[in-house]
Amino acid sequence: MKNTSHLHMNRPVHLARRDAYYEAAVELLNRPLHGLDLRERVRQAERALALFKTAAHHARFAGRSPQALPQEADFLRFMQLVIDQIGSLLAMTQQQTHFLLEECFLGQFLKAQPEQLQLMPGHYQRRAEDIQEGLCHLLQMAYQPHHDLYEADMNGLTPEERARYNQAYGSFREDLRRIELEQLKRGQTSGAIPHSS
């Protein structure tokens, strides 16, 4: 029989990182895009993608514990769908850069006149806005299922495990706030998120 004691021992920390990074990503995606320049919108989508990938990574580890709930697999599947949608958001946002930030690479490649390409950035921007709007709606609908999963997970932990979860969760949220403040001070937001098991 496979020894899974380490999976259960680390479960509260993996759950805490799952929840902290998931919540930070949701908050980030709910921020309005208006007023952000194109580079900032690309960085915001990159950061949201990195946060969701980290949340999913730790959801996988938490789900390997013998004490994992069936709903955890559903939540992980949901996060994977969101990751795919954020990838689409990022792709549509990045497409705009080919027309606006790279001295019109596509215009040069296609040997097109500026008037032939002038509508393209707006087309990609509208797709990105549609995807973001859909994501925000989807994440609002996911609030209650995530909260219910959190409650069920907490009910399955011992008091000592809950204390470990709370301590780890607080630490992760503080780290994420500190990283974001540092990036704002530098005038940028990077997609690079600490990623550890």
The predicted pLDDT at position 4 comes to: 53
pLDDT bracket for residue 187 (50, 70, 90): low
What residue type is 157 in one-letter code? L
Instruction: Tell me the per-residue pLDDT of 24-44, one tens digit each, with 9 for 90 and over.
Output: 999 999 988 778 888 899 999
- Given a contact cutoff of 8 angstroms between Cβ atoms, the answer to whether 93 and 41 are in contact is yes
Q: Tell me how far apart the alpha carbons of residues 25 and 52 are, in angstroms, rounded to a whole number.
A: 6
Write the DSSP symbol of residue 64. T
Name the E strands within the chain.
Answer: none
Instruction: Tell me the per-residue pLDDT of 91-150, one tens digit each, with 9 for 90 and over.
Output: 999 888 887 765 667 777 888 777 777 888 889 999 999 999 999 999 999 999 999 999
Q: Tell me how far apart the alpha carbons of residues 149 and 164 are, in angstroms, rounded to a whole number.
A: 18
3-state secondary structure of 153: helix
What residue type is 139 in one-letter code? L
Q: Tell me how far apart the alpha carbons of residues 154 and 146 are, in angstroms, rounded to a whole number.
A: 12
Q: Tell me how far apart the alpha carbons of residues 127 and 169 are, in angstroms, rounded to a whole number.
A: 35
User: Which stretch of DSSP H or E encloses residue 85?
Assistant: helix 70-100
Q: Tell the burial category of 80 from Cβ atoms under 10 Å away from its Cβ (0-12, 13-18, 19+).
A: middle
> Please, what is the end-to-end C-alpha distance for the chain in angstroms?
24
